[in-house]
Chain A
């Protein structure tokens, strides 16, 4: 609670707990130790107490009048009740005393070491404000053998405006003073401590009452009620204040059997606690930290206001509506947006989202198709495995008839696979084998099948692959295409030249450009190298250079670069010149 950012206070030495705890303890231990030693010690302490008392009175006694300064509220202010300064600064001029000083400082005077101190009337600590965290914590134990009562004392006051002419802290053993807001203070003499030196009391009282003339604090709330209000009233919701005042008026007196020990805790003390609790409730963001309190009183206030103005018909309870919903009366549960397929369902608090009636068809079909292809591949794979198995078994010595039979069967299977792959879907426009080739496993299937295919079939496959190369490359997500290269290489090795040219032709410029421009260009190089073995290329190039290129191949410019890697310079130059003459423009600068 005590945010003592008071600069002055900080300069002061920190309050310390008296270390000499045993001197503070009450007589319980004294009995054990024997009274001899204690009597003397306590007596000495008492004497010192007296001295301090006298000294204090001399020093501070007469200055009672000059209290109540308006030290700016920036100075730490009184420990406990640090209210945030109310918006309008105190217009009143500083109090009429000459010497300003930090007004509210909680000072519990420190007992010197080895002393059993007693609270003194240290006003304002005079710069020596020893701010304790909690005045109540400071227990001054009376150094008398009989007294075992500790008393707490404190000063509570408005921190922001010191309109109190006098505020003093002084503690007597057995008595304490509390100043409340109005400046009045009580002096509970009802329970005088037996050990109180009576001589002190009247004098102090005199000093106290003489100087006091409580003033109203200017910012005191409109409902300036009596003393009973707990401290920081400004923090209470005005409605709350009103309620409190009402309740206080009708506060019943409970008739009870008289309890001789009742009211040990006086009203002031109770008030103190309540004030503390109130302080703890203070916050800069009340709506953030204490939402329900604020809301509750706001509603009560609204209701009261309504009642005061007369009940104007029954109002609907406020609905919880969000800002976005503008039309609540009528809504179209289904909204159709132009150009979209299907409808979008609007969900409101009155009805949940309606099921979207989507347009079926293509979406599902595609998925289904793919699933069909996948399942087919699996089935064909099983057949392929059988084919491969029989192929392996061929090494075993078999009779001719059996071998022939086996071969026939194998061939049938191969053909079956081939035909299956070919005529997958009549609707499919992508080509006969394409769906299978797009799937990586399909590629693997084909690569393993190729050795078993007859020449023309194999050629057909090659043609299809080369013609669809761009598609295959772009959709080769799993990079399974290279798996096809080795078997194709073998196929190419068995081709005639014309067939090769045809193949090359099929490798349209587009496809090659794409192939070359492919990000994975290194792989392209590899693929080209693989697909066309070096010697083949050599052959091709040689042939090209010699013939006049009757049918000029629209070779992309970068094809030359490709050739460069595999051919010697001479051939490349010849090629280049041929191309140039054929095409009529410069091939790329090599």
Chain B
């Protein structure tokens, strides 16, 4: 139980199923087993879920330790609630393929865009480069 009511603590989330979104865009689902003061998380029976369009695929990952700073958001999953039927689960290979295609398409459009900008003498710096600055 939370010893300091009114504050946020992950202690109450222990041993519950969670969904966590990481900074690199990955989505993990697993049972939160352990935490520490930096909000590093230990997940058990973790599954990485990839979404492409209306399809998704789960890749089992086992035990996952997430460094606290890489968490974007974390939320408890209500296991009793019925699952979303809109999304269709597919096999891992298929979803990976879908993801690859998606990435490819994105890169293509990006490339075209950059070229167009370049022709006009403009340039938009990439966000990920700025991060490291």
Q: Do A and B come from one complex?
A: yes
Partner of A263, one of B1, B9, B15: B15
Pairwise interchain contact A136-B31, C-beta atoms closer than 8 A: no
Partner of A270, one of B4, B5, B6, B14: B14
| In the bound complex, CA of A296 to CA of B7 (Å) | 13
Partner of B37, one of A134, A229, A271: A134
| In the bound complex, CA of A251 to CA of B3 (Å) | 12
Partner of A277, one of B31, B37, B44: B37
- B9: chain A residues at CB < 8 Å are 273-274, 277
Which of chain A's residues 254-296 have a Cβ closer than 8 Å to chain B? 259, 261-265, 269-271, 273-274, 276-278, 281, 293, 296
B108 beta carbon closer than 8 Å to chain A: no
Given A134-B37, A263-B15, A273-B36, also A247-B44 (CB < 8 A):
no
Partner of B3, one of A134, A259, A263, A278: A278
A398 beta carbon closer than 8 Å to chain B: no
Given A247-B1, A277-B4, A296-B6, also A264-B11 (CB < 8 A):
no
Interface size class, chain B: 10 to 19
What is the interface size of chain A, counting residues whose CB is below 8 A from a CB of the partner?
Answer: 27
| In the bound complex, CA of A176 to CA of B9 (Å) | 23
A76 beta carbon closer than 8 Å to chain B: no
Pairwise interchain contact A274-B36, C-beta atoms closer than 8 A: no
Which of chain B's residues 39-53 have a Cβ closer than 8 Å to chain A? 42, 44
Pairwise interchain contact A261-B31, C-beta atoms closer than 8 A: yes
Pairwise interchain contact A261-B44, C-beta atoms closer than 8 A: yes
Given A259-B15, A261-B44, A270-B14, also A276-B3 (CB < 8 A):
no
A230 beta carbon closer than 8 Å to chain B: yes
- A251: chain B residues at CB < 8 Å are 1
The closest CB in chain B to the CB of A280 belongs to B37
Which of the listed residues A251, A270, A278 has the most CB atoms from chain B within 10 Å of its own CB? A270
Pairwise interchain contact B33-A243, C-beta atoms closer than 8 A: no
The closest CB in chain A to the CB of B32 belongs to A265
A244 beta carbon closer than 8 Å to chain B: yes
| In the bound complex, CA of A305 to CA of B14 (Å) | 36
The closest CB in chain B to the CB of A247 belongs to B1
B29 beta carbon closer than 8 Å to chain A: no
B34 beta carbon closer than 8 Å to chain A: yes
Which of the listed residues B6, B11, B31 has the most CB atoms from chain A within 10 Å of its own CB? B11
What is the minimal beta-carbon distance from A511 to any residue of chain B, in angstroms? 71
Which of the listed residues B15, B37, B44 has the most CB atoms from chain A within 10 Å of its own CB? B37
What is the minimal beta-carbon distance from B58 to any residue of chain A, in angstroms? 19
- B4: chain A residues at CB < 8 Å are 230, 274, 277-278, 281
Across the A-B interface, the 5 shortest Cβ-Cβ residue pairs: A265-B34, A276-B37, A274-B3, A230-B3, A264-B33
